[in-house]
Structures are given as C-alpha cells and as structure tokens.
C-alpha cells in the first residue's frame, strides 16, 4: 500500500537529470543564439536609450508644457490638466524628476510596442476562431505565470538591461490589448456587418470602415489597461536593470527606507492616475455618436 500514501513520483536522480537537461539545453540555446537575438534587439535598445535621453535632457518646462498639452488634447478637461501640472511639480520638487522621465520613456515605448503587436494579433483572432483558440491559452499563461519565472529565461538570453526589462513589461502588459481588440471586433453588431456585406464591401473595407471604428472604445479600454499593467511592472523590471522609479522602490524594500519607498511608489501611482484619466476621457470622447443618441 505504499503507493497509496506516497505519491509514485519520479526518482530524485531522474528529476535532477531532467532539470539538468532542460537547463543545459536552454544554456546551449542561449549560447548559440543569444548573440543573434541580442543583435536583433540592438535597434530597439538604441531607440530606447535615445528616447530616454530625450526625456531627461529636454528642459523640464518644455516637458511639462508638452505633457499638459497632451493631457488637454486627450481629456479636454481643465481639472485633469491642473491636476497633472501640480503632480509633476510635486514630483520634480521631491527630486524624482529624472527617474520619472526614465519610467515615462519605457512605459511609452512598451505601450507603443504592445499596441503595434497586440492590435494586429487581436484582429487575427477576431477573424479566425482557430487563431483565437490558439492564442487564448498563451494569453492566459502570460497573465497568470509569476513574472519572476519568465524573467529567468529572458535574463539568460539577453542578460540584464533595458531590453530584457522592456520585454518583461510587454509580456505582462500585452494580453489586455489583444483580448479587448478581439472582443471589440467580435461584438460589432452582426446586422451592421451584414449591411456592409450587402453593399459589396470587401474584408479590408469592413475592417477599417466598420469593425475597427465601432470596436475603438473597447480597444481603447485595452490600451488603458495595457498602460496600467506596464506601470505595475516598473518595480519588477527594475530588478533586471531598468532605470526609473522602480529602482528606488527596490532599494527602499531591501533597506527599509519608508519615505523613499512611499515617495517613489506614490509617483508611480500619480503617473498611473494621469494616464488612466486622460485615456479614459479620450475613449469616451471617441464614442460621442453614442452619447448624443436619443435612445
């Protein structure tokens, strides 16, 4: 009855052998292809460095003015613009300007990458049920797997630095935009699509003329979520060498600096709130035609 009380597991030596094999295989893989993959990401790294420098080296009044302008264009709300202004003044006053700029740079690049990859993926999923069935489980894994677990292979392949950090952020942040693009397109009224069909619209005319515009509010909710999740990854990304607001937080955790942790943590929260309010207002404005409706 031994098997009843003790799980009939693999022998220890076999298990060790198994882990070793996997580890060696991946080490071999990263030795052979690591160089090539790193070269592949070289342009991205250059861009990232340039973009971050741009944010840090531009005089602060110019940056604040541009941010306020964008906040206004996005939200058309004085309240949000004033709030943004005060927030950034506070951040700067407490000496977190440079870190905030680094974080802003990586968040923007990550968001841009997620949109560029995620929206086409979502469109492909909406077009074909098989593609959807293949991608959904991958997204599930990406959203539930502890971030530290996928940091290991990424770091083994690319080492410590901005690019692996960016990849980690993207893996974490891309699922909502993919899911919501797919959902948004699938939720477009079948009657309206039938009408487009009956007038002889082809696939692309339907996609860009009917489906995407009508799915835009949903897609934008996805963009909003992607930005929020990217911000949430800032601290973890700093563990593998991404500069910004996450690094002081990490330092504060290991040294129990309450004030430092709180300040930088709150700065991340402020960024999140500003992004969220501005993008949400923008999303609402895009469905103006719905809100003006009679019924």
Partner 1 sequence: MNSKNILIKVNQLYKIFGDGDKSALDLVKNGMGKDELLEKSNCVLGLNNINLNINRGKIQVVMGLSGSGKSTLIRHLNRLIEPTSGEILFNDTNILNLTSKELIQFRQNNMSMVFQKFALFPHKTVLQNVGYGLAIQNIAKDEWSEKAQKWIKRVGLDGYETYYPGQLSGGMQQRVGLARALATDAEILLMDEAFSALDPLIRSEMQNILLDLQSELHKTIIFITHDLDEALKIGDRIAILRDGSMVQDSDPQEIIMNPADEYVSDFIKDINRARVIQAKSIMTPTNTKSSGATVKEDMVLEDILQIMSDAPSKPVTIENSKGKITGKIEMVNLIEGMKRPKSLGTNITG
Q: Which residues bind partner 1 (CB under 8 A)?
A: 189, 191-192, 194-202, 205, 209-210, 213-214, 289-290, 292-295
- Residue among 79, 154, 164, 171 nearest 118 (CA): 171
**Smallest separation, CB 193 to partner 1 (Å):** 9
**Smallest separation, CB 27 to partner 1 (Å):** 50
Q: How many residues are given for the chain?
A: 295
List Cα–Cα distances, 13 to 9, 16, 22, 23, 203, in angstroms. 11, 5, 14, 15, 57
- Phi-psi bin for 201: left (phi > 0), alpha (psi -120 to 50), beta? beta
- Residue among 248, 264, 253, 235 nearest 165 (CA): 235
**Smallest separation, CB 148 to partner 1 (Å):** 43
CA–CA gap between residue 150 and residue 144 (Å, rounded): 11
> Cβ closer to partner 1: 217 or 265?
217
> Cβ closer to partner 1: 54 or 195?
195
> Cβ closer to partner 1: 214 or 245?
214
> Cβ closer to partner 1: 9 or 295?
295
> Cβ closer to partner 1: 206 or 251?
206
Cβ atoms of residues 258 and 60 within 8 Å = no
**Smallest separation, CB 202 to partner 1 (Å):** 6
Helices (H) and strands (E) in the chain, counts: 15, 0
**Smallest separation, CB 292 to partner 1 (Å):** 6
CA–CA gap between residue 44 and residue 49 (Å, rounded): 9
């Amino acid at each position: 009855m031994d098997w009843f009380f003790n799980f009939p597991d693999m022998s220890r030596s076999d298990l060790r052998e198994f882990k070793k094999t996997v580890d060696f295989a991946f080490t071999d893989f990263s030795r052979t292809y690591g160089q090539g993959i790193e070269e592949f990401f070289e342009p991205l790294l250059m861009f990232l460095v340039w973009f971050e420098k741009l944010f840090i080296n531009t005089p602060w009044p110019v940056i604040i003015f541009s941010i306020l302008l964008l906040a206004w264009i996005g939200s058309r709300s004085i309240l949000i613009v004033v709030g943004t202004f005060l927030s950034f003044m506070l951040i700067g006053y407490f000496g977190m300007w440079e870190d905030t700029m680094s974080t802003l740079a990586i968040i923007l690049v990550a968001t841009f990458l997620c949109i560029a990859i995620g929206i086409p993926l979502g469109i492909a999923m909406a077009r074909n049920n098989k593609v959807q069935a293949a991608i959904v489980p991958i997204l599930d894994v990406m959203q539930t797997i502890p971030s530290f677990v996928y940091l290991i292979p990424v770091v083994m392949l690319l080492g410590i630095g901005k690019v692996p950090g960016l990849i980690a952020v993207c893996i974490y942040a891309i699922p909502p935009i993919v899911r919501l693009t797919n959902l948004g397109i699938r939720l477009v009224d079948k009657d309206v699509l039938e009408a487009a069909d009956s007038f002889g619209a082809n696939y692309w005319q339907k996609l860009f003329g009917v489906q995407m515009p009508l799915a835009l509010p949903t897609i934008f909710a996805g963009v909003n979520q992607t930005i929020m999740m990217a911000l949430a990854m800032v601290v973890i990304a700093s563990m593998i060498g991404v500069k910004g607001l996450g690094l002081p937080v990490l330092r504060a955790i290991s040294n129990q600096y309450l004030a430092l942790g709180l300040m930088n943590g709150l700065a991340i929260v402020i960024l999140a709130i500003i992004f969220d309010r501005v993008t949400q207002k923008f999303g609402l404005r895009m469905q103006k035609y719905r809100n003006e409706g009679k019924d």
